[in-house]
Structures are given as C-alpha cells and as structure tokens.
Chains A and B, each alone.
Chain A
Amino acid sequence: MNNTVIWNIIRFFVLVALQGLFLKRISDGWVTGSLYINIFLYPLFILLLPLQTPRTGVLLLSFLMGISVDLFYDSPGVHAAALTAMGYARSLFLSLYEPREGYKLNARPTPGDLSMNWFLKYSASLMGLHLLVYFSVDAFSPIYILGILLRTFFTFVSSMAAILIFVFIFMPKR
C-alpha cells in the first residue's frame, strides 16, 4: 500500500515536469495554432490512481494537479477546471464500465491488470471529457465551437497515443 502511494507521488511530479517542461514545448514550438495539436499526458495521473481512492481525494488531487500544470502554462485555473471535471467523472465511468464480476482486489486501472478494451473505453471517455472542458474553458465562448471541437479531436488523438505508449512502457502486466 505504501509502495503504491509513493509511486503515485513520484508519478505526480514526473508527469507535471514532463508536461510542463517537455510536452508544452512540443506544442508551442512545432505546431502553433494551425494544426490544433497538443499532447496532454498529465491526466494519466488521475487515470492511474488506485481504484479504491476516495472520491474526495481524487477531486482534491485533480485540482492540485491541474493547478500545478497551470503554473507551467501560465493559465491559472484552466487546466484545474478541466481536470477537476474529469476527476469528478472518474468514479461515474468506473462504475459504468465495471466488469460483471466487479473489480479485482488491488487491481490497477491499467490494460495489464484489467483488459485493453476496458482501458481504452475508460481512458477515452475521461480524456474526451477533459479535453472538451479544457478547450471550452480555454476559448471561453460558445462562438469558438468549431475551434473547440477541432482542437479537442486532434489533441485527443495525440494524447491517447502518448498515454498508451506511457502505459505500455511503465505499467507492464504484473
């Protein structure tokens, strides 16, 4: 148990640093504006929190994570708003996609411990929600709806690819 907590703390800092120092530069430098592509990896922290994490904890951690990323992006509150929404929705989707026999004790929410199909549904739903909220709050007006949807779509594709790569490399089957 203690091990899990430490790993999650480490993952928190690694993901914040990765997002703020590296992935932000990629979207800033290579493809500014025109292609609408960003890579958001940090929501993976919320995705990979242990299944038994209390909902209150998930909410507080998502807000904290969002604010931390906001510090790098110089956009106070935007990532926090989106990630908090995702943190709130997490338990809803967890119960929606719960396997018929329930979640196994101490299972991690990864493709290795559950199934690839399950993880894809779970991460795609939450990432879609997160990105939609993020770009909505970022644009802050419904008149940019087309831009919001395009950005959500392209960023969704690139972010899902990054998440799957990360999960396959660092969360192998036990």
Chain B
Amino acid sequence: MRGLLQLFAAYGNFLLFGFLELLALILVVSFNQRQGAIWDNSWGMATAMFDQSADWLGEQWALRDEMIKLQGENIRLMEQLDNARYSNAVRQDTFLRDSTEQLFTYIPANVISNSTIGTANYLRLDKGSNHGVRPNMGVISSDGIVGVVRAVTPHYSQVMSLLHRETRIKAALSRSGYFGTLTWNGKNARLMQLEAIPKHAVVAEGDTVVTSGYSQLFPQGLAVGTVKSFDFSGGGNFYNIQVMLRNDLNKLRYVYVIENEMWKEHKELDEAVNE
C-alpha cells in the first residue's frame, strides 16, 4: 500500500495524464464517425496481421518437427540401402548371401556456418562428439557429398568442405568404373576436377561421377556430379575432367554425417601395415 502511494506521489500526474488521454481517445473513437471508422479499420488490419504472423510461426514450428521426422526417416532408408551394409556373402548360392551387417550409419546435422569463397573453405555443423561425430567422418547432403569432418567439440564440428584446395576424394565414373581423385582448383564453386583417369578410359560428357567406396568415408555409388568437359591439356597420360557438382554448396542447410561402423578394423589394418 505504501509503495502504491509512493508510486502515485511520484508519477501521479503522469498516470492522471495517461488516464485522461486514454479517456479522450476512447471518446474519440466511440463517438466520432470518421475516427471510429479509421480505428475499426486499423484494428482489423492489425489483428489480421497478428493472426497471420501467429499462423506463420506455428507453421514454422510444425515444419521443424516435420523436418526432424523426415531426417530420421531418410536415415532409416539410407541405412537399409545395399551400399550402407556390409555383406558377409562368400558364395552367391549360400544362405550367407542375406547375412549382412550395418556398415554405415548416419547422424543428422544442420549447417550453422558455411563459406564458398577463397580456396580453403570450412563449414560448421551443430552436432559434435556428444552425438557421435568424430574427426575423419564423411558428410553428405541429400544431393551429394559435402566434405570431411576435421575437428569436433561436444556440440559442434568443423567440416572441411569439398571446396578446399587440399581435398582429395576418390571418385569413379559410374559407367566405365575407372576411378580417379576429385580436387578443387579454387575457381568455381560448382566445378571440381577429376584427376588420374587414364587415357584409355572412355569418357563422355554427361557421365555420372560417383563415390568409389575406396575411402571408407563414403558409401559406394553416391552421386557426386556429371562430367561437364574433358581434355588432355598438359600433355600427360591422364584426362583433365571438369565435374559439375550435383549439390550446390552455396545453399546447404541439412546434412548427414556418415559413421563407418567398422572404422576400428580399418585402423588396425592400417597400423599393422605401417609396422
């Protein structure tokens, strides 16, 4: 009560002023035809606008939920594909043919920063070691490959983009099966170079370039892009192939991090060889 009195002592005149103005404006809009009409009109517009933004917000939330659900659904389907499974088959006519194990699993992630300018581009994802992301995991989007995880923190991970001068990714021509190495010359964000395809291979414009599956980072047969042009400039025994990327890294939003379930065995083998 004391506080209330003090409030009135301090701001009483202002409150009275506000009250009288409010009263006057209520009178204005209730008893003047013209001002009343303008008021009704504006009020209707304001409420309509508010309703609209509320609807929009609700839709966005619904879309977000739907997005997460669809990501999960995509992963479930991708993990059932042949290229995501390890086959134990040794002879085609045995029952072992159906015995497969999960080889690749996927972790959904959102891109929170990205760059395609310069020659050393990185992107950052909102998933990290807490969600199972480790360095040297491949990253793909629904349109193609994106890059390789370089570093992780509990909540975030840093991905070396395909658009990096040090990118070396094994890729194959899907029609002929010859494989080479994808690199980027730093010029065009949609064009990569496929090197080390031998001269005797048959190459045509429009050939599909896919992941070779030799790197343990990406499942075999993921589409990367198409051959845009090729020549032998430089005079070597290998093609210079320009590959048009399928996915536009300039507008990347949702990606999947690929986990190779058998990475430990590969590591053991690597160590055994190096000893």
Contacts and interface: CB of A to CB of B under 8 A. Distances in A.
Residue of B20, B26, B38 most packed against chain A (CB within 10 A): B20
A84 B28 contact: no
Nearest to B22: A81
Contact of B27 (A55, A76, A88): A76
B28 A137 contact: yes
Interface string A45-80: 000000000011001100100100010000111101
Given A77-B25, A80-B24, A84-B21, A56 B32 contact: no
Contacts of B23: 63, 77, 80
Contacts of A66: 24
A85 interface: yes
A66 B35 CA distance: 17
B117 interface: no
Given A59-B20, A85-B21, A140-B38, A77 B26 contact: yes
Interface residues of A, number: 21
B31 interface: yes
A141 interface: yes
Given A88-B17, A140-B38, A56 B24 contact: no
B26 A140 contact: no
Nearest to B12: A56
Contact of B20 (A55, A75, A80, A140): A80
A152 B93 CA distance: 98
A140 B13 contact: no
Residue of A59, A77, A85, A137 most packed against chain B (CB within 10 A): A77
Interface residues of B, number: 22
Nearest to A62: B20
B32 A75 contact: yes
Nearest to B34: A140
A77 to B, nearest CB: 3
B49 interface: no
A70 B31 CA distance: 11
Contacts of B31: 76-77
A60 B16 CA distance: 8
B43 to A, nearest CB: 12
A77 B13 contact: no
A140 B17 contact: no
Contact of A59 (B16, B26, B29, B35): B16
B232 interface: no
Contacts of A78: 24, 28, 32, 35
A81 B21 contact: yes
Interface string B3-16: 00000000011101
Contacts of B24: 63, 66, 77-78, 80-81, 84, 137
B106 to A, nearest CB: 55
B39 interface: yes
Contact of B13 (A55, A63, A76, A85): A55
A81 B38 contact: no
Contacts of B20: 59-60, 63, 80, 84
A63 B16 CA distance: 11
Residue of A55, A56, A75, A140 most packed against chain B (CB within 10 A): A140
B27 A80 contact: yes
15 contacts: A56-B13, A60-B16, A63-B23, A70-B27, A75-B28, A76-B27, A77-B26, A77-B27, A78-B35, A81-B28, A84-B21, A137-B28, A137-B35, A140-B34, A140-B39
Given A63-B23, A81-B28, A87-B17, 18 more contacts: A56-B16, A63-B20, A63-B24, A66-B24, A70-B27, A76-B27, A77-B24, A78-B24, A80-B20, A80-B23, A85-B21, A88-B13, A88-B17, A137-B35, A138-B35, A140-B34, A140-B35, A141-B38
Q: Please list the 3 inter-chain residue pairs (A to B) with the smallest Cβ-Cβ separation, ordered nearest first.
A: A77-B27, A81-B24, A77-B28
Interface of B: 12-14, 16-17, 20-21, 23-32, 34-35, 38-39, 42
Interface of A: 55-56, 59-60, 63, 66, 70, 75-78, 80-81, 84-85, 87-88, 137-138, 140-141
